[in-house]
Amino acid sequence: MPKMKTHSGAKKRFKVTGTGKLVHRQAGKRHLNEHKSSRRTRRLATDAVLAPADARKAKRLLGR
């Protein structure tokens, strides 16, 4: 049986932590930031842990 290929879109979007959790960038900080508050843009700058239901799906795409 051939090797399973990693989903290219998923590998660009998710990072696996040492404990096996998936981390992703938060949405809403790409453009139109001028009218958003500094507090909001700072909050969106940090990575967030993927929800368990989504993490299961994303792990499959990453071949884990």
User: What are the structural domains of the chain?
Assistant: 8-61 (4.10.410.60)
* Residue 64, pLDDT score: 87
- With bands split at pLDDT 50, 70 and 90, how would you rate the model's confidence at 1? confident
CB contact at 8 A, 58 and 22: yes
* Residue 49, pLDDT score: 97
Alpha helices (H) along 1-64: 8-13, 38-45, 52-61
Number of H helices, E strands in the chain: 3, 3
Separation of alpha carbons 15 and 6, rounded Å: 13
pLDDT digits (tens, 9 = 90+) for 18-57: 999 999 999 999 999 999 999 999 999 999 999 999 999 9
Separation of alpha carbons 40 and 46, rounded Å: 11
